[in-house]
Amino acid sequence: TLTIGVLALQGAFEAHAKALEALGVTAKLIRNPAELKDLDGLIIPGGESTTFLKFLERDGFLDVLQSFVEATPTFGTCAGAILLANHVENPTQKSLAVLDITVERNAYGRQIDSAILTAPTKLEGDPLEMVFIRAPRITHTGPGVETLAERDGFPVLVRQGHLLAATFHPELSADTRVHQLFLDLVQEHTKA
Ligand code: GLN
């Protein structure tokens, strides 16, 4: 069975671990750089990207994570997507810069900063419930990036090679299709 790490420094990691276990894989909470060894994939959860960066700047965690995400399937949700993005705006912020997208943080304004939408996506089956919490907006995608779901014409679920990113929180919905999509990507990568 696959072992998927969930970065557990801060934020919404428990619900991701539950979603993964419901799909029959081993979920491992990752709290230090040494624990990134021997994983088939990693989820960087939602939370506060600035706080993640603060934690990651200790013990050389950021450098180890950088090498990891360059080579191993990684799924970033919300703050995790911000960390993967090539460019971060509002304000400009350091990132792992492995995914060819530009994100604008907290892009939906204070009044409507959180929302639950259900919309058709490129995933098979019913429209997908998407929970947005102080979400970023993907304002640009490079040519290698495939958009799998949108909100108001902007991408909210994207894939580029071994990387997947969502600006919403799939771990807060009962629907497991987005986690399954990531596991399929991990499986493909493991076989290749
Ligand atoms: N607003 C957060 C940030 O900019 C992201 C919010 C989330 O992960 N739910 O990092």
pLDDT in tens, 2-11: 999 999 998 8
Residue 12: pLDDT band (50, 70, 90) is confident
Give the mean pLDDT of 58-65.
Answer: 94
Give the mean pLDDT of 37-41.
Answer: 96
Please say whether the beta carbons of 189 and 159 come within 8 A: no
29-43, 64-78, 99-113, 118-132: the lowest-pLDDT one: 99-113
* Dist. CA 78 → ligand 1 center (Å): 6
Q: Which domain holds residue 154?
A: 3-191
Question: Which among 105, 110, 132, 137 is the best mutation to test ligand 1's pocket, defined by most ligand atoms within 8 Å of the CB?
Answer: 105
Asked whether residue 134 is marked as a ligand-binding residue, the answer is yes
What's the pLDDT score for residue 4? Answer: 98
Output the domain CATH number for residue 14: 3.40.50.880
Amino acid, single-letter form, for residue 34: A
What's the pLDDT score for residue 114? Answer: 86
Domain tally, the chain: 1
> What would the pLDDT profile of 126-171 be if each residue is shown by its tens digit?
999 999 999 999 999 999 999 999 999 999 999 999 999 999 999 9
Average pLDDT over the chain reads: 95
Q: Evaluate: CB of 149 within 6 angstroms of ligand 1.
A: no
- Nearest to 49, CA basis, from 18, 5, 84, 19: 84
What's the pLDDT score for residue 110? Answer: 65
Helix (H/G/I), strand (E/B), else coil: 141: strand
Supply the residues annotated as catalytic. 78, 169, 171
> What would the pLDDT profile of 88-125 be if each residue is shown by its tens digit?
999 999 999 999 999 999 988 765 568 999 999 999 99
Asked whether residue 47 is marked as a ligand-binding residue, the answer is yes
Helix (H/G/I), strand (E/B), else coil: 10: coil
Asked whether residue 112 is marked as a ligand-binding residue, the answer is no
Q: How far apart are CA 84 and CA 98, in angstroms?
A: 6
